[in-house]
Amino acid sequence: MVDVLIGAQSVTKRFPGVLATNQVSIELKPGRILALLGENGAGKSTLVNMLFGMYRPDEGSVIIKDEVVNLQGPSDAIRRGIGMVHQHFQLVPPMSVVENIVLGAEPKKLGLVDLPEARKRVLELVTRFSLDVDPDALVEELPVGTQQRVEILKALYRNAEVLILDEPTAVLTPQETDHLLQVLRDLTTRGVGVVFITHKLREVLAIADDIVVLRNGQVVGTTTPSASSETALAEMMVGRSVLLRVDKTISQPGEVVLEVRNLEVDDDRSQRAVNNLSLKVRKGEILGIAGVEGNGQRELVEAITGLRASEAGEILISARAVTNTSPRKIASLGVGHIPEDREKHGVIGVYSVEENAMINRYHRKPFSLRGLLQRKAITSHAKEVVNEFDVRTPRLDTAVATLSGGNKQKLIVGREFSGEIKFLIAAQPTRGIDIGAIEFIHRSIVKKRDEGAAVLLVSAELDEIIGLADRIAVLFEGKIVATLDAAEADREQIGLLMAGVGVS
Amino acid sequence: MNKKLFRSCVTPVAAVALGLIIGAILIASQGSSPITAYQAMLVGGLRDSDALLRTFQKATPLIFGGLAVAFAFKAGLFNIGGQGQLLIGAVFAAGVGFGLDGLPMVIHLPLALIAGGLAAAIWGGIAGALKATSGAHEVIVTIMLNFVAGNLTDWLSSSPWKDNSGDRIIARTPPIEPSAEIPTWGALPVGFLLAILVAIMCWFVLERTTFGFQVKSVGFNKDAARYSGIRIGVITASTMAISGMLAGFGGAVESLGVDGRFEAGVNVGLGFEGITIALLARANPIAVIPAGLLVGLMQAGASRMQFKADVAPEIIDVIQALILFFVAAPTILRWILRFQNQTDEDLKLGVGWGSK
Ligand SMILES: Nc1ncnc2c1ncn2[C@@H]1O[C@H](COP(=O)(O)OP(=O)(O)OP(=O)(O)O)[C@@H](O)[C@H]1O
Ligand SMILES: [Mg+2]
């Protein structure tokens, strides 16, 4: 009987200018769930990447099934029964679920891929672990939560006894999250061990057996859900007490800044995603868009910011028609945009922190004069953003791709907040961000509002919407089905509206 | 910083070394001495001012071609049309070079150069504009335009611009006026200086200007570039035009500085060598200069090598192909040499080769 399924023994990993993990030890026993918590840049991803063989520890060792191993790479880890679900799924979208699962480890007959056999094996897995997936569906047509299940199946197909998940719930809807947690629980009853990283304390308390908290690359605490609480965990992570709710005054709405009239927008597959939608956001107020992801939020935001064409209707910003104009023109009206997909739209990974801190305004003074980039202005601006938003980076010329996920997000938020903003669109502004930084970003959004900006907040976190918004619009199937005053909004009621209950 | 510079040199230097070693084995297998052969090559490309002049002359169009490919790389574009753009540049520079007379050199020479560059810019720009407006892949379009350019320049030099003096068999333009000739200072052709100047300008544009920032942004992350307000289409089209212009300068310098006219068939293949040079230089415009010089030296020394060591000059093509193979497939190189992962630097070159 194996005692330690996977573990780390005093592992240290250095990157240029950073000590990412410093003498960290953890261990996972069969059938248990280990949650890793910690601030952005604490070293969580680095640690699990070492367990998966993506990085080699500078000091210390990785243990798999009671044995010290020297992993040669991810394929080595997979051979030893480790599976990892990355935040960016490693799937081939136009291929079917079965094909994706067996890819690279296909059953063969006469040298050819034996698809019927593959399908049979996948179906077996699906039933054994009661993971609800249609094996013949094309991956690109599946919602994110289901794609993640395909990733899990992929690992199980390769006989994974350990499943490592790095922020698996960041992109999931609450329903999908519940489902995932259930799946993980079921897996542990079959002896699979789980290591998972999250910033959501509620999830940790709900399913972890053991909790390890990291700070600055070191283990600062080990606990269990029964011996802990959200406040205690938050404090352990950040090293100070954290305000878990937002303090704000009643809004003082002024004139209309954003007006959307009868807007129709299509999604990538030319299906109508935003359907005859109208809304207004006034100066000095935060309008929160609540809704299950995939109900048109992305298309709405992209249409307003000029990244996606509108099929019909009108968008006005400060009374100027901006329907189907360029992102540049819209931004020039004083619009800040925290994009939903930070890797895709938010940053250019190979560019430095400096360059990313001004990418939305590179063409304007003081960053550009007579067509030339002004390094001094760029550096000093980046310095301000990094200091104010506590972006943890070894240097200003560090490539953004090497920052931790949450620190990339903080950089984007800081950049968008640093200009003159009349209207702010914040899509999932705190996704992947630690609890201390969430507090700061929430306060910053409220501050922008108080300074007179209009704010459109889109979030999959109902708590975030209820905590921050002055008014709440519920989006369902591309339509706004209700607009409520936040003061009298009721969680249950919004939840029902989001699910389409009581919508005619 | 120095460490970074060192690391980015490892792959190209190793590729060159390995290419030369395999080349040596091949030479030896033909019964010749590789040492004699390489010695002859170096002497043939370096010994005296004649040799140096040959090296510089060979290097010049290679540098321009390398810059063309490297510049397009930065926007994630793969310009395979260097050959066609070079021909267009060469024929139009020659056209202005022989077609106008009575102009002073300070006007005539720049005019001929600009004509070549501009025509080639249009040639490259067509591919860029097609990509921007219809999504047509620049690799396909530039390959096809190579054929069009080949035929167009054949026709120009065999019909309307044909040199009707002499035996009239060769399809070529009349010689250019002396006022359009690029001079040579001792062993130093001014065209080579021009290539260095243009390389520095390319670096400056990419690293210091707002335009260059946009070009690189499009190359690194198109979606983020669009989000930042960059007009992808405009950048794509203008980058391809610039890339075409760079290749065109290479052709123009050939006509005005080396051949003294345009002759069909003389520059065949030259335009493709830019790809080797750009890869060897890892798409860095400054590094294009030594890369071009190196290959130029090998080419300049090839005939002496044949003469002294009895080695077919085609061996140089083989070595060049081997070098290209190793720089383009750094994984193989790393496997052979067993050096550690040095991931991100390599990935950058891969950007944009796909279909998007
Ligand atoms: N490949 C890399 N090169 C250089 N530095 C890196 C690299 N990967 C991580 N780092 C640095 O190591 C530190 C730890 O990063 P890591 O990604 O492990 O944090 P994290 O705990 O996962 O944070 P988050 O919650 O934001 O995802 C950070 O300071 C980061 O900048
Ligand atoms: Mg992380």
Which residue in the set B211, B224, B348 is minimally distant from A371, CB to CB? B211
Distance from the Cα of residue B28 to its chain's centroid: 31
Look at strands A310-317 and A256-266 and give their pairing: antiparallel
Q: Which two tokens stand for residue B52?
A: 């140096």
Neighbour-count burial for A133-157, b at 16+ CB within 10 Å, e otherwise: bebeeebeebeebbbbbbbbbbbbb
Give a yes or no: residue A247 inside a domain.
no
Give a yes or no: residue B64 inside a domain.
yes
Q: Say which DSSP state B339 is in.
A: P
Selection from A56, A36, A29 nearest residue A220 by Cα: A36
Measured in angstroms, how far is the CA atom of residue A259 from the centroid of ligand 1?
40
Give a yes or no: residue B233 inside a domain.
yes
User: What are the pLDDT tens digits along chain B (356 aa)?
Assistant: 577 777 778 888 888 999 999 999 999 998 888 999 999 999 989 998 899 999 999 999 999 999 999 999 999 999 999 999 999 999 999 999 999 988 999 999 999 999 999 999 999 999 999 999 999 999 999 999 999 999 999 999 988 998 888 777 888 899 999 999 999 998 899 999 999 999 999 999 999 999 999 999 999 999 999 999 999 999 999 999 999 999 999 999 999 999 999 988 877 788 889 999 999 998 999 999 999 999 999 999 988 888 888 888 888 889 989 988 888 877 667 666 655 444 433 333 333 333 33
- Same domain (yes/no): A352, A318: no
Q: Which residues contact A189 (CB under 8 A, 6 or more apart)?
A: A31
Residue at which a domain ends, from A206, A238, A270: A238
Q: Which residues pair with A34 in a beta bridge?
A: A195, A210
Give a yes or no: residue A37 inside a domain.
yes
Give a yes or no: residue B356 inside a domain.
no
Q: Is B8 on the interface with A (CB under 8 A)?
A: no
Measured in angstroms, how far is the CA atom of residue A290 from the centroid of ligand 2?
26
Distance (Å) from the alpha carbon of B144 to chain A's nearest alpha carbon: 30
Measured in angstroms, how far is the CA atom of residue A47 from the centroid of ligand 2?
9
Letter for the amino acid at B31? G
| C-alpha to C-alpha distances, B328 to B21, B255, B283, B344, nearest whole angstrom | 18, 31, 12, 15
| C-alpha to C-alpha distances, A162 to A48, A119, A493, nearest whole angstrom | 12, 23, 39
- Same domain (yes/no): A326, A407: no
Q: Is B210 on the interface with A (CB under 8 A)?
A: yes
Bond prior to A174 in cis (omega within 30° of 0): no
- Same domain (yes/no): A290, A433: yes
Which residue in the set B209, B221, B227 is minimally distant from A373, CB to CB? B209
Give a yes or no: residue B31 inside a domain.
yes
Q: Which two tokens stand for residue B253?
A: 């310098």
Pocket test for ligand 1, best of A36, A52, A396, A402 (most atoms within 8 A of CB): A402
Pocket test for ligand 1, best of A393, A403, A434 (most atoms within 8 A of CB): A403
Q: Which residues contact A405 (CB under 8 A, 6 or more apart)?
A: A40, A45, A87, A167, A342, A432
Domain count, chain A: 3
Which residue in the set A345, A368, A373 is minimally distant from B223, CB to CB? A345
A458 Ramachandran zone, left/alpha/beta (phi>0; psi -120 to 50): beta
* Domain span including residue A402: 347-419
Give a yes or no: residue A209 inside a domain.
yes
Measured in angstroms, how far is the CA atom of residue A144 from the centroid of ligand 2?
19
Q: Under an 8 A CB cutoff, do A351 and B231 touch?
A: no
Crossing angle of helices A405-417 and A375-388, in 10° steps, is 110
- Same domain (yes/no): A405, A441: no
Give a yes or no: residue B15 inside a domain.
yes
Q: Which residues contact A389 (CB under 8 A, 6 or more apart)?
A: A410, A411, A413, A414, A417, A440
- Same domain (yes/no): A46, A112: yes
Selection from A88, A92, A87, A89 nearest residue A102 by Cα: A92
- Same domain (yes/no): A400, A442: no
- Same domain (yes/no): A259, A228: no
Look at strands A33-38 and A193-197 and give their pairing: parallel
Give a yes or no: residue A243 inside a domain.
no
Give a yes or no: residue B76 inside a domain.
yes
Q: What is the CATH number of the domain that holds B27?
A: 1.10.3470
Contact A39, A48 (CB under 8 A): no
| C-alpha to C-alpha distances, B297 to B44, B54, B304, nearest whole angstrom | 8, 8, 12
- Same domain (yes/no): A204, A116: yes
Pocket test for ligand 1, best of A18, A50, A238 (most atoms within 8 A of CB): A18
Q: What is the DSSP string of B237-249?
A: HHHHHHHHHHHHH
Which residue in the set B213, B221, B344 is minimally distant from A362, CB to CB? B213
Domain count, chain B: 1
Contact A407, A348 (CB under 8 A): no
Give a yes or no: residue A1 inside a domain.
no
- Same domain (yes/no): A414, A427: no
- Put simply, the chain B residues between 76 and 135 with a CB less than 8 A from any chain A CB are none
Give a yes or no: residue A249 inside a domain.
no
Angle at B137 between CA B356 and CA B246, to 5 degrees: 110
Distance from the Cα of residue A79 to its chain's centroid: 29
Give a yes or no: residue A33 inside a domain.
yes
Give a yes or no: residue B229 inside a domain.
yes
pLDDT in tens, B112-160: 999 999 999 999 999 999 999 999 999 999 999 999 999 999 999 988 9
- Same domain (yes/no): A13, A133: yes
- Same domain (yes/no): A81, A201: yes
Give a yes or no: residue B16 inside a domain.
yes
On chain B, the residues whose CB falls within 8 A of the CB of A305 are 227
Give a yes or no: residue A339 inside a domain.
no
* Domain span including residue B328: 2-350
Residue at which a domain ends, from A388, A419, A450: A419
- Same domain (yes/no): A354, A470: no
How far is B136 from B133, CA to CA, in rounded Å? Answer: 8
User: What are the pLDDT tens digits along chain A (504 aa)?
Assistant: 788 999 999 999 999 889 999 999 999 999 999 999 999 999 999 999 999 999 999 999 999 999 999 999 899 999 999 999 987 788 898 899 999 998 888 888 888 888 888 899 999 988 887 788 898 999 888 888 888 889 999 998 998 999 999 999 888 878 888 888 998 999 999 889 999 999 999 999 999 999 999 999 999 999 999 999 999 999 998 888 877 778 888 888 999 999 999 999 999 889 999 999 999 999 999 999 999 888 999 999 999 999 999 999 999 999 999 999 999 999 999 999 999 988 899 999 999 999 999 999 999 989 999 999 999 999 999 999 999 999 999 999 999 999 998 999 999 999 999 888 999 999 999 988 898 889 889 999 999 999 999 999 999 888 899 999 999 999 999 999 999 998 888 888 888 888 888 765
Which of A328, A348, A364, A395 to mutate to probe the B interface, most B CBs <10 Å?
A348
Distance from the Cα of residue B237 to its chain's centroid: 20
Q: Is B321 on the interface with A (CB under 8 A)?
A: no
